[in-house]
Amino acid sequence: MHNERAIEVPSVFEGSMNFSDWGDGLTAVTLKELKTTALTLSGTPAYALAIEIKDEELNRVLFENINSYWCKWVNKHSPFHYRYLFLLSFPWLTEWSVLGVARQLYTLQTGKITSKVNAGYYALEVLPHKYRQIIQQSIEIRKSDNKLLYLKPSIKRAEQTIKCLNFIIEKFNRLRTSTGFTTHDNLLARAAYLAMELSAWFVIVPFCLASLFTGLVQALGTKRGLFKHYWIIVKLILTIAATILLFLHMQPISRMAGVAAGTTFANTELPGLRVQLIADAGAALLLLLATTTISVYKPWGKVSLALLRKQEQNAAVQAKGKITKKSGGFYVYEV
């Protein structure tokens, strides 16, 4: 049952202490921070509280905040709006907005809560280099004890702030629609890429080589032969090509596994490489389907008997002597 009596609890926001009713503003982000970073003065430790925040709920709150509050904030501080003059004149608006959005990006990609300064350093690592100057400046303003030192109007700073915020908002929405990463579980993604490399080297590669070897043994050890049927020749060519492409495909797999093994891995890194892995896997499935279909239906029939006999005659001639000349359709050789 809920206690009808309102309980005021202390909270700190932007460096000032406030008292508010218990339950006010306790979003998934606040509860996550409470359980993971709170210091317990008395009673049950914070980490043992009966609070369960799922990734889906945490990300939902982040996305709603980005696409409602922050989108409106950017629009109201863009050129041709009177609040643009505030952004142009007061640099701490740049610090507050850039590091605030960077903090949400950090939480989205890592599942953890951090300070604005640490979020700024994280943004320096993951965002394009062209935003480095505005992020670095935001960190300096945040760490400064005298923010009045930075009270210098700057059109360039205001423009870079809006561009950086728009980029992060677009990045949020791209991550939201990323296939296969609806919860952005970095641990699961890391385990998947590491397992993919192991299964590729110790299962797929050996079976591919075994398929090529057993196919050669069956063709040469039976009446079918290796070059008597067109479907066998085509399948042999496809299998050799698949084997070569598999070893080439192992390079991006090993690279992705190496990145996943890093301590700062986020499941949204290297989108181009992840798309390549999916495309290569799709091509491999098509190739497997093609070889299976050829094995079942055995199309195209046998290689021409006349061609086979001619090859056998040439082989016999080469075995008995050395061909010196071909004239009028006859071979001349020396015994």
Are residue 142 and residue 227 in the same domain, yes or no?
no
Are residue 171 and residue 198 in the same domain, yes or no?
no
Predicted local confidence at residue 317, as pLDDT: 63
Determine the structural domain holding residue 126 and report its residue range: 55-176
Residue with the bigger pLDDT between 132 and 152: it is 132
Domain end, chosen from 155, 176, 197, is at 176
Query: Within a domain: residue 181?
Result: no
Residue 22 pLDDT greater than 70, yes or no: no
Residue 264 pLDDT greater than 80, yes or no: no
Are residue 43 and residue 59 in the same domain, yes or no?
no
Calculate the average pLDDT of the chain: 79
Residue 262 pLDDT greater than 90, yes or no: no
Are residue 124 and residue 203 in the same domain, yes or no?
no
| 1: confidence class by pLDDT, cuts 50, 70, 90 | very low
Highest mean pLDDT among 6-15, 103-112, 180-189: 103-112
| 180: confidence class by pLDDT, cuts 50, 70, 90 | very low
Is 90 in contact with 138 (CB distance < 8 Å)? Answer: no
Predicted local confidence at residue 163, as pLDDT: 93
Are residue 158 and residue 85 in the same domain, yes or no?
yes
Are residue 121 and residue 191 in the same domain, yes or no?
no
Highest mean pLDDT among 26-40, 239-253, 306-320: 239-253
Is 157 in contact with 94 (CB distance < 8 Å)? Answer: yes
| Cα-to-chain-centroid distance, residue 235 | 34
| Cα-to-chain-centroid distance, residue 192 | 11
| 335: confidence class by pLDDT, cuts 50, 70, 90 | very low
Are residue 190 and residue 267 in the same domain, yes or no?
yes
Predicted local confidence at residue 182, as pLDDT: 43
Are residue 25 and residue 76 in the same domain, yes or no?
no
- pTM > 0.85: yes or no: no
Residue 179 pLDDT greater than 50, yes or no: no
Query: Within a domain: residue 331?
Result: yes
Query: Within a domain: residue 312?
Result: yes
Are residue 26 and residue 40 in the same domain, yes or no?
yes
What average pLDDT score do residues 192-220 get?
Answer: 89
Are residue 96 and residue 206 in the same domain, yes or no?
no
Is 101 in contact with 170 (CB distance < 8 Å)? Answer: no
Domain end, chosen from 33, 48, 63, is at 48
Q: Which of 48-62, 80-94, 148-162, 248-262 has the lowest mean pLDDT?
A: 48-62
> What proportion of the chain, given as a percentage, has pLDDT over 90?
23
Residue 92 pLDDT greater than 80, yes or no: yes
Residue 17 pLDDT greater than 70, yes or no: no
Q: What is the pLDDT of residues 64-77, one digit of tens each?
A: 888 888 989 998 89
Query: Within a domain: residue 335?
Result: yes
Residue 2 pLDDT greater than 60, yes or no: no
Q: What is the pLDDT of residues 283-330, one digit of tens each?
A: 889 988 998 998 888 888 777 655 556 666 777 666 665 555 555 555
Residue 20 pLDDT greater than 70, yes or no: no
Are residue 297 and residue 276 in the same domain, yes or no?
yes
Are residue 59 and residue 172 in the same domain, yes or no?
yes
Query: Within a domain: residue 258?
Result: yes
Query: Within a domain: residue 2?
Result: no
Query: Within a domain: residue 244?
Result: yes
Query: Within a domain: residue 225?
Result: yes
What average pLDDT score do residues 114-122 get?
Answer: 92
Q: Domain count for the chain, please give it.
A: 4
Predicted local confidence at residue 18, as pLDDT: 67
